[in-house]
Amino acid sequence: MSTQLPMFQLYIDGQWTDGSTGQTMSSINPATGEAWANFACTSKEDVNRAISAARRALNEGEWPAMTATQRGKLLYKLADLIEEHAQALGELETKDSGKLLAETKMQTGYVADYYRYYAGLADKIQGATLPIDKPDMHVFTSREPIGVVAAIVPWNAQMFLTATKLGPALAAGCTVVLKASEISPVSMLEFARLIEQAGFPAGVVSVITGDAENCAIPLTSHPDIDRIAFTGGPDTARHVVRNSANNFAVTTLELGGKSPILVFDDADLDSAANGLIAGNFGASGQSCVAGSRAFVQRSVKDKLIALIKEKAASIVIGDPLDANSHVGPLCTETQVERIEDTLEKAQAQGANIVFGGMRPEGLEQGNYFSPTLVECPDDQTETLTVEMFGPVMSIVPFDNEDEAIAMANDSVYGLGSGIFTQNLARAHRVSKKIKAGICWVNTYRAISPIAPFGGYGDSGYGREAGLDAVLDYTNTKTTWINTSDAPMANPFVMR
């Protein structure tokens, strides 16, 4: 007897709806390889409807009439609802993407603090009075919502990456059309229920999903979009930038990474081993800041590899819903195939697989891949140049500081980086020279709503999170007021 799969609808203009064409897709559970839910897909007509609703909500009705403090209170309420439903949202995200439930539940709960942070900033967006160089003029600046925002998030950390966009956008008074990844959108479609429960007026936030042709392209190229906040890969980002030529939308891009971690001979090696494991095997390696390029001073390389191997031996690969699992499946079969292909090329280049390098036995049904350590002959080995989005760590030795910095910077990416050393002067010196938007010293993968997040080069531009992010969702207006009772001077009489 067949079991009917749960169905998730789109949320457009305050209404739950199927797509106008009736198209649906299935979400595949990465742990089983089987469909577990269906969801509605957006058409071009639906995209237009969501954007029209966002434009209307921006200019009319309750939302523009609210004070900044009132907007903040709605964000506080949303944060409380997220915290309250963290377990349920985490379970949906785990079934949808294969991420560990322990991680999705924890991350969802912590995401509430991002909304609280921006709730507190909502009524602190200020202009300034200018000491202008002309008499009888009172000149001041004010901040206004930039307009309708297209927020596009990938599958690997949707709740977190949504918060870094939706939080500041709503605090600034913008309206948002949020596109969830069509690979695993279920948790985001369910998240829309919390937006509704929090009391945001219809049209302020719509949540949609679908393929590039019917959803992403119409959204990012629409003339009524004022700002695009995109997280994803560089190839897709190039299309987004080209699409934005149709609307001149202000665009920020948070893209991929091949982040370097430098381990010097004076480092606490136990701490460095933990950092490398967290940076590569945490989230099953499906992180844009994964520290997948490890550069280790030659004199401590063998000892560090032995430590990593010892610690990795206790990693449990298994069902992401099982609290005992440390590493779950990858989201898609394509990722597993890319890893296998990349490892094969790396071995042909002289790389040595220290451990892992295969699909684990007994878990053939899902998209599982064993945590893998690759010892590479140089920094041009395939595993150091390809973003695999899986639990693969590559180690290359170095002899001196300059060599380590040169190899770390020899990449088109520049998102995260890590340094392990007990020498404070070196920590400051090297972190200044690393070309990356984030540098962690003697830690890794730490995040906070207070700290800006973003990269250099092919890792994108613009910053998310932090105090200034909310200002990126505003336009500055300058107002000139003539305080003199005298009539304005004849413009053709020059004095």
Which residues neighbour 475 within 8 Å (Cβ) at sequence distance 6 or greater?
143, 144, 145, 146, 147
467: left (phi over 0), alpha (psi -120 to 50) or beta: alpha
Would strands 7-8 and 34-40 be described as parallel, antiparallel, or unpaired? parallel
For 417, phi then psi, to 5°, come to: -165, 160
What angle is formed at CA 37 by the lines to CA 34 and CA 41, rounded to 5 degrees? 120
SS3 labels along the chain: CCCCCCEECEEECCEEECCCCCCEEEEEECCCCEEEEEEECCCHHHHHHHHHHHHHHHHCCHHHHCCHHHHHHHHHHHHHHHHHCHHHHHHHHHHHHCCCHHHHHHHHHHHHHHHHHHHHHHHHCCCEEECCCCCCEEEEEEEEECCEEEEECCCCCHHHHHHHHHHHHHHHCCEEEEEECCCCCHHHHHHHHHHHHHCCCCCCEEEEECCHHHHHHHHHHCCCCCEEEEECCHHHHHHHHHHHHHCCCEEEEECCCCCEEEECCCCCHHHHHHHHHHHHHHHHHCCCCCCCEEEEEHHHHHHHHHHHHHHHCCCCECCCCCCCCCECCCCCHHHHHHHHHHHHHHHHCCCEEEECCCCCCCCCCCCCCCCEEEECCCCCCHHHCCCCCCCEEEEEEECCHHHHHHHHCCCCEECCCEEECCCHHHHHHHHHHCCCCCCEECCCCCCCCCCCECCEECCEECCECCHHHHHHHEEEEEEEEECCCCCCCCCCCCC
Residues with catalytic function: 254
Which residues neighbour 427 within 8 Å (Cβ) at sequence distance 6 or greater?
419, 421, 441, 442
